[in-house]
């Protein structure tokens, strides 16, 4: 897999990371931002940007200096009212972040997810069989990557069967809303009120099944580990962050396999490499491309002064392809150790659902590897544009069965 | 690729659990010494929240748990306070008589079984050295503007640490020294049932049993006790040990200054890590045989006792060999 190098290097300070042209093909802009220095001022929004691995990693870990409670989007909650009540996980700092995180993290450990694995593997087999039964060509996004998470994750949370088609638009909007009110936001906003209302209803105790993550979050409120007002907000966080991202995670694996000759054969020979394959795919794709942090005091990073209250945009996707950190960063390399990538963030806000994302993707990957000997692009992919997420609208692929 | 990996590995190891150096030592009460600890290179330490404790591994392999009582906004030092227990098993005696600034100790964690949950109010009850986990809780309740009170019980004021700092809180802190006022009658502090607080208590067993009985009417979830003796101290003279890869039978020796992940890489077994601090759980690996020395922040006491898995980015072994499900 390789990238197309842009013939001209744009002036880094004038880069607009929420411009549709940028979102269509961010890689050359990432390179320009990295090369411009450890910290770049983005003139259009009056914010700072970090695009190199070392600075991004260090800032993500340093919650004391780079806070989240002022919002992880462009909007600065010190001065602006958020469009919805801020997440008590993503948009909170210690100490308020402690309780919600301590309640959710133990629910989503690999040990707890083992109870789901057998069912999810069976579901993955069913989904992949259904796709392959229809022929050798299919859309890896709409026929597979969207189907599987929507089949297993809402059940795991414990929401009702009706209205699940709202999940992807809600997540898409929430991630768009971390950016400026550009056309991605304004075109969707009029459709959001009923979707937001539906999401809110799903988070109520009486609408959740008795055994899902949602019910377990409410049980934690009963035990006094979080306040009762926080329980529905934490359920909302799972529903917001847990669908669109895993769709892209699964699509990213298919994309990497389709664009890397021999990868399927190698993985079929050595299944112990599936974990590496997933981590490499999310390193390369970085489903969540960016998050903001806000300086909690006057800071200096890489010789650049950042004043208290200034917003800094962390380019996770760029850090994951920084040649200062990764040799041959644009290559999907099953011999690489992808440890330390920041696709899930790092530090106290590191993706609390990362083990779910891994398990979902590995279930789908294994189901594919059981049934196909190769996969290739059938037509060019079509990007899905979002202010924060990267992904695909369509990914036509052709498979070869053994 | 080799250079990048070596640099990455070095960076991870620099932030790796393992060793702390004593950077300051001061007496904070009779028989109570406070230690400030940092990474030898001054790197960032793992995050923690009030109620957390760390393992301290002394040079002879003795492992003891101590609550963190410093400032979590300072990511570069840990503070603990240690009561000298002359009748104890030697850990505190070693710290009091031998450990000085510049010395190093091993460490694991932090782990937290005594988390501060949101509540309309808090009643903290400390007995003697039991003040240690409660100090950051007091500061946090203060920061959040939540109502709180502290009962601080001990044999004499001379034996109670941090009275100076606590003095600033005025009437919210009640100090009860037995040599001045006789035995404490805990019922005297029964909270207002109209605003039932969550009770956090740490101290001697007898005091905790009394608090447990006394606070029972508040409800099971409103009483949180930290029993030092329940932490299952195991002395773990972990140094060099072997790891066997179950699938291939390959055996590699894990040196004192490297992680299991580092050692496995020498035999071309890559275990993917993320945080490299035993926090995120990415590298979880099954344990088929052997006794792990858990240093992570993830497993509960019950899971540690079971030891069906470990986090090879940070954990080590008590037994001479671990057989891992790799």
Mean pLDDT calculated for residue range B209-229: 85
Using one digit for the tens of pLDDT, what is the confidence trace for B61-113? Answer: 788 899 999 999 999 999 999 999 887 778 899 999 999 999 999 888 899 98
Name beta bridge partners: B175: B152
With an 8 Å Cβ cutoff, is B273 touching chain A? Answer: yes
> Cβ contacts (< 8 Å) between A230 and chain B: which residues?
118
Mean pLDDT calculated for residue range B299-304: 85
- What pLDDT sits at residue B89? 75
Selecting from A99, A109, A355 the residue whose C-beta is nearest the C-beta of B117 gives A99
Interchain CB distance below 8 Å, B49 and A95: yes
Interchain CB distance below 8 Å, A336 and B222: no
Using alpha carbons only, what angle is made at residue A349 by residues A148 and A216, rounded to the nearest 5 degrees? 60
Selecting from B115, B221, B303 the residue whose C-beta is nearest the C-beta of A102 gives B115
- What pLDDT sits at residue A66? 98
Mean pLDDT calculated for residue range B34-38: 98
Mean pLDDT, chain B, as a whole number?
88
- What pLDDT sits at residue A241? 95
Selecting from A222, A230, A338 the residue whose C-beta is nearest the C-beta of B272 gives A338
Mean pLDDT calculated for residue range B313-326: 93
Using one digit for the tens of pLDDT, what is the confidence trace for A353-398? Answer: 999 999 999 999 999 999 999 999 999 999 999 999 999 999 999 9
Residues of chain A with pLDDT under 50: 1-9
- What pLDDT sits at residue B236? 56
Alpha carbon distance A274, B74 (integer Å): 39
Using one digit for the tens of pLDDT, what is the confidence trace for A199-226? Answer: 999 999 999 999 999 999 999 999 999 9
Interchain CB distance below 8 Å, B275 and A222: no
CA distance B73 to chain A (A): 6
Selecting from A109, A223, A276 the residue whose C-beta is nearest the C-beta of B270 gives A276
Chain A residue with minimum CA distance to B140: A95
> Cβ contacts (< 8 Å) between B117 and chain A: which residues?
99, 224-226
> Cβ contacts (< 8 Å) between A338 and chain B: which residues?
272
Burial of B216 (0-12, 13-18, 19+ CB in 10 A): exposed
Contacts 24+ apart (CB under 8 A), A16-23: A16/A42, A16/A44, A16/A45, A17/A42, A17/A49, A17/A290, A17/A313, A17/A315, A18/A74, A18/A179, A18/A180, A18/A182, A18/A387, A20/A182, A20/A183, A20/A184, A20/A385, A23/A383, A23/A385, A23/A386, A23/A387, A23/A390
* Encoded tokens for A338: 């992808």
Interface of A with B (CB under 8 A): 61-64, 94-96, 98-99, 102, 109-111, 222-227, 230, 272, 275-276, 279, 325-328, 335-341, 344, 346-348, 350, 354-355
> Cβ contacts (< 8 Å) between A341 and chain B: which residues?
274
Contacts 24+ apart (CB under 8 A), B286-290: B286/B324, B286/B325, B287/B322, B287/B323, B287/B324, B287/B325, B288/B246, B288/B323, B288/B324, B288/B325, B289/B244, B289/B321, B289/B322, B289/B323, B290/B317, B290/B319, B290/B320, B290/B321, B290/B322, B290/B323
> Would you say residue B190 has pLDDT above 90?
no
Confidence of residue B237 (pLDDT cuts 50, 70, 90): low
With an 8 Å Cβ cutoff, is B274 touching chain A? Answer: yes
Using one digit for the tens of pLDDT, what is the confidence trace for B10-21? Answer: 344 333 457 999
**Alpha-carbon distances of B99 from A52, B46, B56, rounded to whole Å:** 42, 23, 12
DSSP state, residue B320? S
- What pLDDT sits at residue B305? 87
- What pLDDT sits at residue B238? 54
Instruction: Calculate what percentage of chain B has a pLDDT beyond 90.
Output: 62
DSSP state, residue B64? E
Alpha carbon distance B255, A187 (integer Å): 59
Interchain CB distance below 8 Å, A275 and B272: yes
With an 8 Å Cβ cutoff, is B257 touching chain A? Answer: no
**Size (chain A), residues:** 402
Mean pLDDT calculated for residue range B116-139: 95
Name beta bridge partners: B64: B56
- Chain B 173-212, residues with CB within 8 Å of chain A CB atoms: 198
CA distance B189 to chain A (A): 22
- What pLDDT sits at residue B3? 36
CA distance A104 to chain B (A): 13
Selecting from A95, A275, A344 the residue whose C-beta is nearest the C-beta of B140 gives A95
With an 8 Å Cβ cutoff, is B268 touching chain A? Answer: no
| φ, ψ for residue B316, nearest 5 deg | -130, -150
Residue A298 CA neighbour count, 13 Å, CB half: 1
């Amino acid at each position: 897999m390789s990238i197309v190098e842009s013939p001209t290097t744009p002036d880094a300070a004038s880069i607009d990371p929420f411009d549709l042209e940028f979102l269509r093909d961010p890689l050359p802009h990432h390179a320009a931002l990295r090369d411009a220095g450890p910290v770049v001022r983005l003139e259009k929004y009056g914010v700072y940007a970090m695009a190199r691995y070392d600075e991004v990693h260090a800032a993500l870990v340093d919650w004391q200096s780079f806070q989240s409670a002022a919002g992880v989007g462009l909007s600065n909650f010190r001065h602006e009212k958020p469009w919805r009540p801020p997440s008590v996980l993503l948009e909170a700092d210690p100490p308020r972040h402690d309780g919600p995180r301590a309640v959710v993290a133990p629910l989503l450990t690999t040990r707890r997810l083992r109870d789901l694995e057998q069912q999810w593997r069976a579901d993955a087999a069913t989904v992949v069989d259904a796709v392959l039964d229809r022929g050798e060509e299919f859309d890896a996004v709409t026929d597979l990557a969207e189907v599987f998470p929507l089949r297993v994750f809402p059940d795991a949370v414990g929401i009702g069967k009706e209205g699940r088609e709202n999940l992807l638009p809600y997540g898409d909007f929430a991630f768009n809303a971390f950016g400026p009110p550009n056309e991605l936001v304004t075109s969707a906003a009029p459709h959001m009120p009923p979707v937001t209302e539906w999401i809110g209803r799903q988070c109520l105790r009486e609408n959740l099944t008795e055994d899902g993550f949602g019910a377990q979050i409410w049980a934690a409120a009963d035990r006094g580990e979080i306040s009762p007002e926080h329980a529905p907000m934490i359920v909302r966080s799972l529903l917001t962050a847990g669908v669109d991202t895993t769709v892209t995670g699964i699509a990213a694996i298919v994309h990497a396999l389709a664009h890397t000759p021999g990868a399927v054969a190698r993985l079929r020979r050595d299944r112990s490499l599936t974990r590496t394959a997933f981590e490499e795919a999310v390193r390369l794709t970085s489903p969540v491309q960016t998050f903001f942090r806000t300086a909690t005091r006057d800071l200096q990073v890489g010789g650049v002064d950042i004043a208290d209250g200034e917003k800094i945009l962390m380019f996770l996707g760029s850090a994951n392809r920084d040649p200062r950190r990764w040799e041959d960063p644009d290559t999907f390399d099953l011999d690489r150790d992808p440890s330390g990538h920041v696709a899930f963030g790092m530090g106290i806000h590191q993706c609390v659902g990362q083990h779910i994302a891994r398990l979902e993707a590995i279930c789908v990957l294994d189901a594919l590897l059981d049934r196909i000997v190769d996969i290739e692009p059938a037509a060019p992919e079509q990007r899905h544009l979002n202010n924060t997420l990267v992904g695909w609208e369509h990914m036509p692929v052709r498979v070869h069965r053994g | 690729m080799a250079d990048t990996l070596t640099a990455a590995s070095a960076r991870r190891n620099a932030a790796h659990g393992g060793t702390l150096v004593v950077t300051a030592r001061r007496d904070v009460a009779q028989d109570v010494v406070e230690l400030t600890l940092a990474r030898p290179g001054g790197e960032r330490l793992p995050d923690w929240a009030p109620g957390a404790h760390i393992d301290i591994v002394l040079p002879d392999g003795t492992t003891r748990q101590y609550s963190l009582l410093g400032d979590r906004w300072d990511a570069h030092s840990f503070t603990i306070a240690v009561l000298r227990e002359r009748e104890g098993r030697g850990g505190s005696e070693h710290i009091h008589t031998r450990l000085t600034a510049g010395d190093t100790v091993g460490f694991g964690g932090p782990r937290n079984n005594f988390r501060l949950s949101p509540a309309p109010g808090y009643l903290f009850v400390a007995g003697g050295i039991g003040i240690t986990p409660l100090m950051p809780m007091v500061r946090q309740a203060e920061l959040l503007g939540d109502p709180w009170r502290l009962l601080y019980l001990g044999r004499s004021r001379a034996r109670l640490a941090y009275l100076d700092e606590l003095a600033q809180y005025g009437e919210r802190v009640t100090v009860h020294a037995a040599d001045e006022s006789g035995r404490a009658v805990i019922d005297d502090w029964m909270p207002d049932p109209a605003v039932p607080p969550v009770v956090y208590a740490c101290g001697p067993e007898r005091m905790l049993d009394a608090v447990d009985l006394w606070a029972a009417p508040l409800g099971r979830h409103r009483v949180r006790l930290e029993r030092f003796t329940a932490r299952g101290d195991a002395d773990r003279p972990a140094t060099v040990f072997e790891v066997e890869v179950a699938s291939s039978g390959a055996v590699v020796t894990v040196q004192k200054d490297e992680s299991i992940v580092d050692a496995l890489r020498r035999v071309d077994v890559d275990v993917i890590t993320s945080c490299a601090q035993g926090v995120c759980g990415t590298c979880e690996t099954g344990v088929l045989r052997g006794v792990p020395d858990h240093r992570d922040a993830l497993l509960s006491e019950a899971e540690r006792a079971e030891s069906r898995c470990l986090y090879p980015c940070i954990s080590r072994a008590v037994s001479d060999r671990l057989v891992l499900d790799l």
